[in-house]
Amino acid sequence: MRKNKLIMALFLICLFTNAFASTGEIGSYLQSISDNHVKLHDFFKSMPKGGELHYHYTGSAYPEYLIKLAKEGNYCIDPNTMRISRFSSECRGMLTKKFLLAPKNQKKAINAWSMRNVITNYKIRYDHFFNVFAKVNPIYEDYYQNILADMINRAAEQHELYMEIMLPMLTNAEKYAKLIKHTNDLDEKMRILLASVEFQNSVKRMIDQTNTYLNGANQKLNCNKNPHSPACEITVKFHAFVFRDIPIDEVFAQALAAFLAQAHSENIVGVNLVRSEKDLIAKHDFSKHMKIFNFLHSQYPNSHISLHAGELDAKTNKLSDLCCHITQSVYQGHAKRIGHGTDINYEKNNINLLKHMAKNHIAVEINLTSNKLILSIEGDQHPILYYLNHNVPIVLSTDDEGILETDLTSQFVDAVKLYKLSYKTIKNINRNALSYSFLPGKSIWLNHETGVFIPDCKILSSKKCLKFITNNQKAYLQWKLENELNNFEKKVPAYLVTT
């Protein structure tokens, strides 16, 4: 009997081994369908994904969902601008409950709140995108839990494991800017704000709010009853972001609040700098912003910084404006990740910069759909291959999933369809989402690009590895991704048979 069991076990092992497609076989299959959008989408929709590292909360909701929430809420809408405002005693415009019942008005809202039908020239598309936020901001402010739950659900449908979501934090920064406007000394500015009980309480509220938002989203997802549902198993963390298009003392107040919040919160893992780099204030004060981030990094050396930088094009900007944003963000702003980075080929000494980024593992968050629709940068104008050819790590992300009406699957589809990336490269990019995340903990990899695990995790199911991933968030999700990818790859022969 024992011999029969052993034979059966060996048979199952052989069967398992024969059914397992190699990376080369999967690569050949992927290459064979690289021009077939439907099959690519099917493949990547099913593929487990490390997750999203460049994802804006205000920009995440699809327009149809915003319409649903607008009809539920107590809002007015300006039929000309399609801008939402909260209804108090008087409505200047029309109540959304009534206005958005008409299909023609719903279509108008969809066009105003997304990029769906914006087919005009580049400048109009760019302005249209950045104008959307003010039109729908009250909905985002009033429905945090609903919108977070909706985005997490969509991530689960994409088989994602992790998300880092950018959230607005200190929205009343002008109040604290008044306290520090009389001094140019950054140490003095920090001392004044940290001595303010009201400022400290504002930061505490920021931290409490992120916990409340996440707990509320989990309630919407029924995670108490179904803790192992795909949506409830996604790990969500936040970035506290700073606006770059506001007066410099407000930038300092927001930045200090963001660094302080990250230092005292388990859920806030990063600090970011957002909004258009083309803005006059943003361009004029860019070096000052980097000095602020350099200073605060010296005060909070364990902070994690990701900066939007180089999200500029050569068509509508002076070449002199494209010289330095990525460089300054890396060297002075202490960015461990760069968001967008589309103007890298215009940076001064860009080859040395690329070498530095590769050597120091500074990743670039590539947003293909975003760069195409907002900047008109696509095809061979996009630097994705430029980064890869210089061994700079990249991740794929959606940026503003709802406004752009895209998803993470589509980013992988485009990466293969447009740039013919191999499965090996795709797999490394997928792993990068966890390796370059700001999750706490150590990695299971010595080198994930060459597929070398740490000694304790050479066998993922070993007791040593299971012990290593215990209470280690980063390692646990990496371990989970590898197991899910292994299971996914077992199914790939089914694709090969039916192709």
Contact 138, 212 (CB under 8 A): no
CA pseudo-torsion sign 33, 36, 39, 40: positive
Q: Strand pairing of 75-77 and 94-95?
A: antiparallel
- Residue 296: which residues within 8 A CB-CB, separation 6 or more? 190, 255, 256, 259, 303
Candidates 473, 441, 476; CA nearest to 460 is 476
Amino acid at 414: D
Q: Using only C-alpha atoms, what is the Rg of the chain?
A: 24
pLDDT of residue 16: 42
What is the Cα 16 distance to its own chain's centre? 36
Of the chain, the percentage scoring pLDDT greater than 90 comes to 86
Distance CA 131, CA 125 (A): 10
Instruction: List, for residues 136-183, the tens digit of each pLDDT value.
Output: 999 999 999 999 999 999 999 999 999 999 998 878 999 999 999 999
Return the closest-CA partner of residue 140 out of 258, 239, 231, 60: 60
365, 392 in Cβ contact below 8 A? no
Phi, psi (rounded to 5 degrees) for 478: -65, -45
Residue 456: how many CA atoms within 13 Å on its side-chain side?
13
Question: Tens-of-pLDDT digits for all 499 residues of the chain?
Answer: 443 443 333 333 333 444 456 777 899 999 999 999 999 999 999 999 999 999 999 999 999 999 999 999 999 999 999 999 998 878 889 999 999 999 999 999 999 999 998 877 777 889 999 999 999 999 999 999 999 999 999 999 999 999 999 998 878 999 999 999 999 999 999 999 999 999 999 999 999 999 999 999 999 999 999 999 999 999 999 999 999 999 999 999 999 999 999 999 999 999 999 999 999 999 999 999 999 999 999 999 999 999 999 999 998 899 999 999 999 999 999 999 999 999 999 999 999 999 999 999 999 999 999 999 999 999 999 999 999 999 999 999 999 999 999 999 999 999 999 999 999 999 999 999 999 999 999 999 998 888 899 999 999 999 999 999 999 999 999 999 999 999 999 988 776 656 5
How crowded is the C-beta side of 424, counted as CA atoms within 13 Å? 9
List Cα–Cα distances, 157 to 42, 152, 219, 234, 395, in angstroms. 12, 9, 18, 11, 19
User: Which domains occur in the chain, in start order?
Assistant: 49-61+123-440 (3.20.20.140), 75-120 (no CATH)
